[in-house]
Each structure stands twice: as C-alpha cells, then as structure tokens.
Structure 1
C-alpha cells in the first residue's frame, strides 16, 4: 500500500508538471509566432516608409542608378525576396533572390508563405512610379517549428526527471518526516512535554512539526509569562504610586477640568488649597469655574482660546472663592486628546499682584514728585533769568550788558530741560529733537538781526540721552550758535547755520555745528582763544561729555564734537 501511494503520488506530480509546462509552452509558442509576424509587418511598414521618403526625388530626376542601388540595399533584409520598380507602366527594375526565381508572380501573391505590398511613389503629389515588395514567411515558420520542438523536448525531459526522482524524494520529504512526527505526537499524548520535535524543514510537514513545537513552547512559557505579567503589574503600580505622590505633593496647583463649564474632575492638594478647600475631594465636588470668575467675559475668552488654539498660557484672572475672598491666579493648560477636558497647572499670584500695585503706586508718586521738582527748578531758573534781565536793563553800556545776556542764555538752555521734562508724558524720556529746536528758537529770538537773512538746517537723530548729556549739548549749542549769530555774519546780508546730531553706533554720538560766515583764525589749543564761549565749550566737552572737539575754518567755522553716550536715566 505504501509503495502504491508513492507510485500514484509520483505519477500524479509528473502529469501535473507536464501539463503545467505544456499549458505554459503552447501560449508562449503562439505568442512568439504572433510577435514574429508582427515584427515582419513592422519591418515591411518601415521599408515602405523608407522607400516613400527616398525614391520620389530620384525618380523625378531620372536618377535610376540611385533607384537600382536603393532596391539592392533592400535585400540586406533577410525576409525580402522580390522588389520591382515600375515607371510609366513599364517595369524599370526587378530583383529576385535566386532561390525564389522558380516561383511565379501569382504563387508569390496568393500563398500564405509570402506577404506582398505595392505602393505608389509620389513626388509633390505627382505619381512618379510604383514599387512592389514581397516578403517571405519561411524564416518565421522555421523558427516556430524549432521552438515547438525545443519546448516538446523540455517537457519530455522534465517529465522523465520527475518520474525518476519522485520515488527517492517521497521518503525524504514526506513519509519519513511523517513517521517521526507520529512518534513524537504519541509521546506528547502520554504527557511527556519534554519531547524534542524536529522542525527543520520548510514544507507542509515541516510547518506541521513547527506548529506542534510552537504548541509545546507556548505550554512551557505560560507559567513564565504569568510571572512576568505579575511582575510588570507590580512595577506599574509602583510607578503609578510614585507619580501620584508627585501629583499630590506638588507645590503648584495641578488640575484637570471640563472645558464648557470648568468643573474640576481631577485636582491635587495645592490646587484645592488655592481654591480655598481642605482636600482635593472637596474641590472636585464643589468647584465649577464659570461660577467663580470675577469677570465672566474672561471665562468666555478662556473657552474660546481652548477651542480655537487648544491651549492657554500664563493666563491671569481674578477668582472669587466660596468664602467670598477674591484672589489672583495664573494658569496654563492644554486640551486633552478627547477634546472635552483640559489639564494644566495654576499658581496663586495674589501677593505678586499686590506687590506690583504697590510698586506702580510708588512709581506714580515718584513721577509726580520728579515733575514737581523739575517745575520748581524751572521756576527758580526763570527767577534767576528775571533778576539778570532786570540787572541788564539797569546798564546802558552794550559791552557791559553782553556778559549778562550770555549768562541769561546759558541759564535758559538749562531751564528748557526742566520745562521739557515737566511737560512730557514720560518723565524718564526726553525728546532731544524738541529740546534742541526750542533752544535754537530762543537764540534766534534773542539775536534776531533784520538786516541779515539767515537759514537754519537742523538734523537731529532720535537719540536716547540722559539729562546730563542733554544739558551739556544744550549749553554747547547755546555758545556756538550764539557766537555765529553775533560774529559770523557782520557786514553780510545772508548766511546759513547748520546743526546735526547723529548717533554713530550704540554708545557714541557726533554733533556738528557750522556756519558759512567769515570765520576766524584756528588755534592749536582752544584755551588760547579769547572767547569765553569757546573755552566754556571746551570745558563741557572734556569735563562733562568726556569727548573730543575739532574746529575747522573752511568756508566758515565748523565745530565737530564726538562724545560717548552715557546710560539714560
């Protein structure tokens, strides 16, 4: 019976393999024949197109030698057996392969072994001849026959090989493994779980053996897996307890809340304390955010942010506790994955807000005090100016009046600082451009000379300077511009004074004051000048501004002052 099964099994396999090979071979042979015939027709089409492109010009010009050579070149193609060229109904050229000279024209045209084509040649839509081509199918049929014989031989060889090797392989691949597997299964059925099942094959029997081996391995691992699971559960409980302790004992409020009504669903102890409860359970049971916002509009804004952006960051608001107290809190949170809750952290910033309010009140008080100081200093300086003005009115000699006028101007430049700061909305920031413009306006008024037409060019950057620098610059501008107005344009009808103040970099500035007047002799040392104004300027530049001054006398006088910017304040 065992041998009978082997024979039937081997024969069945051989027949199946032969049938499969035959089923694959026949379509391949048919497909190959079709492709060969298709290639032949493609070759014919290309030759006809080639003829239609090449012959018209030659036939039109009666270049029959070229036509003869062209027809000869067509016989380079193996399947071309006959080509004839007819011009004006006369066969001009005809060429036939020698082995086909015995065939008549009717045989060549009617037989399936040949393909005949005839094409009229045109030169610019004018017929100039007709070319006939006949192709042989013999090469294709011979190749099909050879392919059929080749595939038939392969089928016979494969079938014979399968039949001769099948009996030897059956014992190795099927019957012997089945016998070994049967013995192992019997041992397992007797309760011996230590049996070793060989599963080193990659066939169906091998897969069956592997299934039994996997079953045995799973039975052995059940106990070990259960122990591992118990250990993992234990570790997770330890980790959960650790993070629960961190959550409960954190010194910052931590919470989870619904979005729509703000009901607390999870809270640590610090969060409950912030809201005035003794335990997280009380907070979860009683606190609902929309009932406790001092400004309900802020609650709506929080809901909008959560729904549109998915989070809020450092949001500050006032909350009314259940005992009536009002506190400030700052919280951040983000929407959870399910989209109905948000979670985050919160801190009580009530003390911080109280401190900020005290600081702001102190700043406001100091600002009022500083304004009052500037106002009183300005008034005192104006009082000094008034006294000097009264004194100068008592003096008739113009030369004796000049020192009083100059002193009055210097005091005015300092007084303008305090007046500007007193009128400023931000007492800590001085508008340098307005300050300089006011100085120039005052000097022009004092030294106005209707006989001289003066132009002023003022370009001042928006520089952040402290008060000391501003006063120093104002005094310098007062001295130099006053000198220009008093001396530069004597005996002249017009002139121009230019003032620029530019910030060179983050900690340096340059001020240039120039005129196109008659100028004066430039000395190496400024202290050598008789002019008190220039000596005062040099003292201010070197002593107050810690800068440098350069005087040039080129088409008037130009003073360039470079100085470092001190911290404003």
Structure 2
C-alpha cells in the first residue's frame, strides 16, 4: 500500500481528474436541485416550506455527489492496486533467477552497511557459519564472524572495500560452534536508494589449503628425491672418472716399463683419449648441472691438459680459443672432445717445432641451426690434403666416424698458412 500511496501523491493527473469530476457532478447537482425547486414552487409556498425542503434537497444532492465521487475514487484505487499487484508479480518473476543464483551460490554472499552490520546473507553464508538469517540480520557485525577484526578495524575494512576496486583478502572466520576456518574474501562497494553498502563474497579455503599442503608435501618429497638422484648421479660420474684415471694410471705404468717409442706413443695417446672422456665426467661431478656442460670451459681445460701432456718445456705454443656460449649433453661433449683431441694432437705432433712461435686456433660458433668449428695451426701444411680423407690411422678414422656417423656433419681440410680443418654439424642433438 505504500507504493499505492506514493502513486496517488506523485501522479499529477489524479487531482485534475478529481477536480473536473467534482465540477461536473456539482453542475449536474445544481441543475437538478434548481429543477426540483422550480417544480416544487408550482404547488407549494416557498415562504413556509422552502427552507426545510431546500435543506432536504441539498442533503440528498450532497449525498448523491459524495457517493458518486467516492465510488469513482474506489474504482481508481482498485485499478491502481491491480496495476501494482501486476507490477509486483512481474518484478517477483524477474527476480526469481537472481534469488535462485544468490541462494544456491557456493560462495557465501553478505551485504553490509558501512559500519559493518549485516543486512543480507544468502543460504551459503548461513550454512558456512552455522547461523540463521535472523541471527545475522538482528544483531551481528563483521567482527562477530571474523575474529581478526574489532569494531574500529571492521569499519576501516568497509571503507577500504568501498574505495578500492577488486579488493581481496585471505582471513579466517568463526562458526557458531567455535571452529575457525580459512576463507578468501572479495568485496565491492555500491550505492542503492542513496545509501552506501558493501557486497562481499566469501569462499571456504579449507579444501584448497589441504590440497596446497598436500602438493607442497609432494613437491618437497620430489625435491628430496631429485636431490638424492643428483647426489647419486654425481657419485656415479665421480666413480666413472676415477675408474678411467685408474685405467690411465695402468697405461702409464705400462708406458714406463717399455722402451719401444711407437708403443710409448700409442699408450700416451690412449691415456690422452681416456682423459678426454674422464674430463667430461669430472665437469659433471663438480658442476651444478648434471645434464649439460659449458663447452667453452670444457675445451679450454682439455687443450691445457693436452699441452701439458704433449708439449715440451722448450716449445712455445700460443692457443687462441674463441667459442660461443654453448652447452651440450655428456654424449655430445665427449664426441666433440674426442674430435678436438685428435686434431690438436695431430697439430702438436706434426706442425709445431721448438725453434719457432707456434700457434693453434680453435674457433667454434653457432650459425642459426648449425655449429661451425675451425681448427688451424701455423705449421707447414700438408702437400697431399686428400690423404687425410683416406688415412687408415686410428685418429683419422675416429674423427671421420664421429663427425659423419654420430654428429651427422661434414669435415673439410685445406692449407691456410698451415693446416686448417672446418667442421659443420647440427646444433640440435638427436635422440
């Protein structure tokens, strides 16, 4: 009925309609009374019976006018009530899906005033906290549900929500039975009918925290397992390196027992090749990454060890190493190391002399999808370059086998102020 009253008071056409109706009915009443008085005066004396007759007629006419006006007003009010009922039914029907969504939401939904008093809660909020809607709406404030707030901080929280978009907080709430549980809360401020309110959405985080704890525990166990495997792999690489050093020591002992120079050289080369492979395992054991080795550091160390093994103190040798920042697996490093070992030893054996400044250049660059390797010495070169492709020496066979069969690359020899070797292979490692 309040809306009907507002409709009557605010509808500007109703006073005009009532005024016109009153004037029309009054005019008809006056004409009617005048007619009655005229007819009455034909047969009666107005001086004797006029006042009483006039009064009776006025009373009758006024009653008729009031009846007609009230009846008209009643019809107007009935039409307004019918329109209001129809409008109310339409609004109720329109709000049904929204009410259904609110009451069946998984998240708890609260409306607050700016002083943190509850003015609306949905069914999920009642189930989550274990209280009825009446309990919420009659006397509860935010701090009654969230023990992390008091009266002042609750008001500050409402102020922050109202003045900040996408406000979010992880906190705890307390149920009616006293149990405390974690929640994630988001809130927004809005204005309705000139009043400022807060709408907050709360989600129980108990299950998510259990999952988070479970996942954290699994990650810790996996990390522990990975660390144990890393230690185990390092230990394996360390033992492989030690076993290779033992083999190298045995070959060294055999080398000291023989006087055959060819045999000494063969044993020396075997030791050097074993050391080339052992060096890879040493880098893996000492490094932080058990899958890949920095190629530049590995080759520098390899060249230093080869120099120490093959170059006498009377021989001057300068080594220029230019290598891009490349990392390869254990297998690929051994392949590259073995090729460089054979080529470097070949230069040390045939190109360098004690009475001159010797130079060895090692360049390795990546070019899109390929790796280019260039090794050059400043020796006398080689008259028959083709012989290097046909040589049956173990070293050259090893070089061709690794480059062509394992690296799927190409190799080219040429004279360029000494012997120069160019190797090209794919940057990507095969399966």
Corresponding residue of 1:436: 299
Distance 1:428 1:414 in 2: 15
Cα 1:231/1:375, change in 2 over 3 Å? same
CA distance in 1, matches of 2:202, 2:98: 21
User: Does the aligned pair in 1 maintain the 2:273–2:341 contact within 8 Å?
Assistant: yes
Q: Distance in 2 between matches of 1:546 and 1:428?
A: 22
Alpha carbons of 1:335 and 1:243: their partners in 2 closer, same or farther (altered >3 Å)?
A: closer
Equivalent residue number for residue 260 of structure 2:
397
Deviations 1:230-272 (A, max 9, x none): 2122321332213431x23xxxx767799xxxxx997986x99
Cα distance, 1:312–1:547 mapped onto 2, change above 3 Å = farther
Aligned residue number for residue 364 of structure 1: 227
Q: 1:435 to 1:288 in 2, by over 3 A?
A: farther
SS of 2:130's equivalent in the other structure is helix
Inter-CA distance 487–362: structure 2 relative to 1 (3 Å threshold) = same
In the TM superposition, what is the alpha-carbon distance from 1:229 to its structure 2 partner?
3.6
Is residue 370 of structure 2 the alignment partner of residue 518 of structure 1?
no
Contact 1:545–1:564 (CA under 8 A) maintained in structure 2: yes
Task: Give the corresponding residue for 2:37.
Answer: none
CA distance in 2, matches of 1:218, 1:451: 124
Closer, same or farther in 2 for the Cα pair 1:379/1:307, shift >3 Å? farther
Say whether residues 1:490 and 2:349 are aligned partners.
no
Matched, 1:281 2:130: yes
Shift, 1:508, TM fit: 2.7
Q: 1:222 to 1:326 in 2, by over 3 A?
A: closer
Partner of residue 188 from structure 2, selected from 324, 327, 336:
336
- The offset of 1:337, in angstroms, is 2.9
Equivalent residue for 2:218? Answer: 355
Report the CA distance shift for 1:232/1:420 in structure 2 as closer, same or farther (over 3 A): same
Out of 74, 89, 112, the residue aligned to residue 230 of structure 1 is 89
SS of 1:458's equivalent in the other structure is: strand
Residue in structure 2 matched with residue 110 of structure 1 by the alignment: none
**For residues 435 and 238 of structure 1, do their structure 2 counterparts lie closer, same or farther at Cα, with a shift above 3 Å needed?**
same
1:210-359 equivalent positions in 2, closer than 5 A: 223-224=82-83, 226-245=85-104, 247-248=105-106, 279-281=128-130, 288=146, 334-337=186-189, 343=201, 346=205, 347-348=208-209, 349-359=212-222
1:522–1:552 CA contact under 8 A, matched in 2 = no
1:88 is aligned to none
Structure 2 gaps of 5+ residues are: 1-15, 26-75, 113-117, 133-141, 150-159, 191-196
Deviation at 1:538, TM superposition (A): 1.0
Structure 2 residue 276 is matched with structure 1 residue 417: no
Of 470-479 and 340-349, more deviation after overlay is shown by: 340-349
Distance 2:236 2:391 in 1: 38
TM-score normalized with structure 1 length: 0.49
Q: Distance in 2 between matches of 1:554 and 1:439?
A: 24
- Structural mapping, 1:36-51, within 5 Å: none
Residues 1:220 and 1:322: Cα distance change in structure 2 (over 3 Å): closer
- 1:373: Cα distance to partner? 0.7
Note the 1:552-567 alignment, pairs <5 A.
552-566=414-428
Report the Cα distance in structure 2 between the residues aligned to 1:392 and 1:560, rounded to whole angstroms: 34
The alignment covers a number of residue pairs equal to: 330
Match of residue 146 from structure 1:
none
Residue in 2 that maps onto 1:373: 236
Which structure 1 residue ranges, 5 or more long, are not aligned? 1-180, 191-216, 259-263, 273-277, 292-304
Alignment of 1:116-195 (within 5 A): 185=20
Residues 236 and 442 of structure 1: is their aligned pair in 2 closer, same or farther, counting only changes over 3 Å? same
Q: Distance in 1 between matches of 2:346 and 2:255?
A: 19
Q: Give how far 1:289 is off.
A: 7.1
> Are 2:403 and 1:541 aligned?
yes
Task: Report which stretch shifted further, 281-290 or 381-390.
Answer: 281-290
Q: 477, 501, 509: which one pairs with 2:364?
A: 501
Contact 1:552 1:559 in 2 (8 A): yes
* C-alpha distance in structure 1 between counterparts of 2:319 and 2:198, whole Å: 70
CA distance in 1, matches of 2:347, 2:306: 11
- TM-score, normalising length: structure 2: 0.63
Deviation at 1:288, TM superposition (A): 4.2
Residue number in structure 1 paired with 2:65:
none
Paired residues of 1:551 and 1:558 also in contact (CA < 8 A): yes
Structure 2 Cα separation of the partners of residues 431 and 423 of structure 1 = 12
Whether the 8 Å CA contact 2:131–2:176 is kept in 1: the answer is: no
